[in-house]
Amino acid sequence: MNVFWDRGFAATSLDDLLGAMKIGRQSLYDAFGDKRRLYLEALAHYQRGSIAGHLERLKSAASPLAGIEAMLLGLIPDEAGLQAKGCMGVNAICEFGADDPDLATLRAGSESVLHRALIAQLQAARSAGETLVSLDVEAAATLIETLMSGIRVGARAGASPEALRETAAFAVARLRAA
């Protein structure tokens, strides 16, 4: 997973993978079929962990909006090496676009889980009086998802963690009821 995350699919050679996994070529073929199948499994593994982390941060805060802020802040790596890697899921979108049906299916499953969780969190925030009653939770969830991608791309592009944290805080402040 880390080799693909570091380099992307196209720039990762079979020899890179064999070296990282410390296995022979036939073992890779026997276990995964080919490089593409291994990539899809690595990406699925990454996305499961990523979504689990997002959901944990959403639910572990003192209030619904604090959970959204915690989730957004959790996207921002302080370590330069992690910042340069970006998000493996966003990297896959940038490398393949929306044309690959296997990646689109994988992405749709993860996005669906996160989208439903964000809608529930925003409905809870609205019920708790943290947002305006008129808040369109569907549009707000989509905005947060778009911001998540923007934070990840910004991190990879070298934006400072401080600037990214300010962006996250600004977005959450705009959701708060006046």
Q: Which residues lie below 8 Å from residue 11, measured CB to CB, with a gap of 6+?
A: none
Helix (H, G, I), strand (E, B) or coil at 8: coil
Q: Are 159 and 60 in contact (CB under 8 A)?
A: no
Mean pLDDT throughout 15-22? 92
What is the topology classification, in CATH, of domain 44-175?
Answer: Tetracycline Repressor; domain 2 (1.10.357)
pLDDT at 10 over 90: yes
DSSP 129: T
Domain ranges of the chain: 44-175
Q: What percent of the chain has pLDDT over 70?
A: 99
Q: Are 137 and 119 in contact (CB under 8 A)?
A: yes
Q: pLDDT-derived band of residue 178, with 50, 70 and 90 as boundaries?
A: low
Distance CA 163, CA 154 (A): 9
165 or 81: which leads in pLDDT: 165
Residue 66's pLDDT is 97
Q: Are 83 and 5 in contact (CB under 8 A)?
A: no
Among 18-22, 84-88, 134-138, whose mean pLDDT is lowest? Answer: 84-88
pLDDT at 13 over 90: yes
Q: Which long-range contacts (CB under 8 A, 24 or more apart) does 12-21 make?
A: 12/39
Distance CA 124, CA 174 (A): 16
pLDDT in tens, 67-125: 999 999 999 988 877 777 889 999 999 899 888 999 999 999 999 999 999 999 999 99
Which token pair is 41? 């499994």
- Nearest to 170, CA basis, from 31, 26, 68, 37: 68
User: What's the number of CA atoms in the CB half-sphere (13 Å) around residue 97?
Assistant: 1
